[in-house]
Chain A
């Protein structure tokens, strides 16, 4: 085991290989307050990548309903149960064990092995609400006491991938140019070690090719400066893909750095597992704090507060409206005089959008037509 730096834990941790950060790191930020689980991302991914034999139930991108949904079944509960209760200290440093540190002596990572049946219910728990609506009616408090939210998930192209660590054939590699983690389809022998090891369960077994497969981060698009299919097809414009720097190299004008490091609006999920995952979530502000804390760590309360105050921050607001406004990868953004602009790697402008659209208020009664106005077309 090597000692590597995991900034999401605020400490060093054990990992089977040395720290080797890519030149830049693929990352997606999701605003969970906006996701409506339309599954357009899921289908965009499915039709692009996994329509072949052996991929029938393979969803590299999925959207599940929390708290009861999970694909594969209860993936989060099962790895958390296996890890047992762990603590963050008062300074926000993780005091517990990661899945690498908690590995049994014969194993590389702490894991559980999903079985076929676990992958048979991609949309289990959809829209199932926590707590009993019948007894006391609908939600009347904030955070909501009856609640659910949607969690869209792709591979997190982790800085410390458990799949890569667990593969005894070294068939999994992390690309130096963009940090995308790939399974070498010519070397994989389908041992399924990655399927067991990935705590997010984003390595999947294909019984037709007898190899394991996973989200490829849409690398052919990324290589051309285009965001992945799940991002560009998101009708809710809840996602933005870019490149994240570690906090000590963060750039304020980098969209992902801004949301994660500068503004502290987006957090990794289950960082305590130790993989330094690179999908980041703006937490759903109306879900109970306890639930959010176990999923996003102790920083989540501040994140929710900052999101609530967004309307007083034109720069953050500008970046939020840039999300989903261009198919290209934004390397830099700016907000000036009510206009938000995104730029490509060479500095050319990709898009500009008004931070707020003009609002027109119409009287409820149209005197010229002597008619009541309503919103029904």
Chain B
């Protein structure tokens, strides 16, 4: 499943500038695009667009250098789901785990309200954005389960944890939910502290305001090969309460990439400095 799909960045960059497209044509396809398949044949029909990225410049802390100068994006939709395939160079895959380890990640944002897009910096008060955030760490959770302390520190010595006894005796066995009272993030219901399925849906009204939502069934899948991440993000076009993308109409999108191996996390990221226009093709009959 995780085979490298040849990227076309080099080919595109070798073309004269005048020929480079500036808008992303989101192609309508027959059949479903909901499976987040990076190798599906419909990608052949989607023209790639190279999006320029810059080290996030607006708020501190921020990265000193641009680690991801560009991302190649393709878009397809089936009338219900919109799929984006994003490709960028990253020398090594990174997954968060121990202290100081951060995950590679990519996020795309869409304005929630119709009309002119809000400030590109994660929206603004009363001008929210809808963010789809894929992390390599979340994908690993889905495929291998959330790593436990024994996975992270195989040689660690621990006598016992509360309510988790080798011989419970008359106490009996406790449920994981009982033990959660000893894990503040979990007992507080922080999604961060639970196993993730792949993509977080987030609403934000500017920096520092993002909050993870229940979501609309978005999915993602990524593979790292030949020093390149290829990630497919699939979102519902009509995300009720969130951003809505209508076939046949223009839409706007922003992109952010984190290279965890370079210590990028949170506001330490590379971003698009302007909204990227999407030309969403009218739906085709199934």
Q: Which residues from chain A sit less than 8 Å from chain B, CB to CB?
A: 51-56, 103, 106-108, 113-116, 119, 166, 168-170, 184-193, 195, 205-211, 213
| Distance of A214 from chain B, by nearest CB (Å) | 10
B60 partner residues in chain A, CB cutoff 8 A: 103, 106-108, 168
| Distance of A216 from chain B, by nearest CB (Å) | 9
A54 partner residues in chain B, CB cutoff 8 A: 149, 183
Considering only residues 149-208 of chain B, those with a C-beta below 8 Å from chain A are 149, 152, 156, 158, 161-162, 179, 182-190, 192-193, 207-208
| Distance of A126 from chain B, by nearest CB (Å) | 19
* B183 touching A209, Cβ below 8 Å: yes
What CA separation (Å) do A170 and B265 show in the bound complex?
Answer: 15
Considering only residues 115-168 of chain B, those with a C-beta below 8 Å from chain A are 148-149, 152, 156, 158, 161-162
User: Is B262 interfacial (CB-CB < 8 Å)?
Assistant: no
A195: nearest residue on chain B (CB-CB)? B99
* A51 touching B182, Cβ below 8 Å: yes
Q: Please judge, given known A-B contacts A113-B100, A168-B59, A207-B98, whether A186 and B161 are in contact too, CB under 8 Å.
A: no
A52 partner residues in chain B, CB cutoff 8 A: 161-162, 179, 182-183
Q: Which residues from chain B sit less than 8 Å from chain A, CB to CB?
A: 59-64, 96-100, 148-149, 152, 156, 158, 161-162, 179, 182-190, 192-193, 207-211, 265-267
* B161 touching A51, Cβ below 8 Å: yes
* A209 touching B184, Cβ below 8 Å: yes
Known: A106-B60, A170-B209, A207-B149. 11 other contacts (CB 8 A): A52-B183, A103-B60, A185-B184, A186-B185, A186-B190, A189-B192, A189-B266, A191-B265, A193-B61, A207-B98, A213-B184
What CA separation (Å) do A116 and B155 show in the bound complex?
Answer: 14
* A166 touching B61, Cβ below 8 Å: yes
Task: Kindly identify which residue among A56, A116, A210 contacts B193, using a CB–CB cutoff of 8 Å.
Answer: A210
Nearest 10 CB-CB pairs, A to B?
A: A52-B182, A209-B185, A191-B266, A185-B188, A211-B185, A209-B193, A186-B188, A185-B184, A168-B267, A205-B99
* B265 touching A192, Cβ below 8 Å: yes
Q: Please judge, given known A-B contacts A52-B183, A115-B99, A168-B207, whether A211 and B192 are in contact too, CB under 8 Å.
A: yes
Q: Please judge, given known A-B contacts A51-B162, A210-B192, A211-B190, whether A115 and B182 are in contact too, CB under 8 Å.
A: no
What CA separation (Å) do A210 and B191 show in the bound complex?
Answer: 10
B62 partner residues in chain A, CB cutoff 8 A: 106
What CA separation (Å) do A270 and B63 show in the bound complex?
Answer: 29
* A192 touching B149, Cβ below 8 Å: no
What CA separation (Å) do A119 and B190 show in the bound complex?
Answer: 25
A206 partner residues in chain B, CB cutoff 8 A: 183-185
8 pairs from A and B in contact (CB 8 Å cutoff): A53-B161, A53-B179, A169-B210, A185-B190, A193-B266, A207-B99, A208-B149, A210-B192
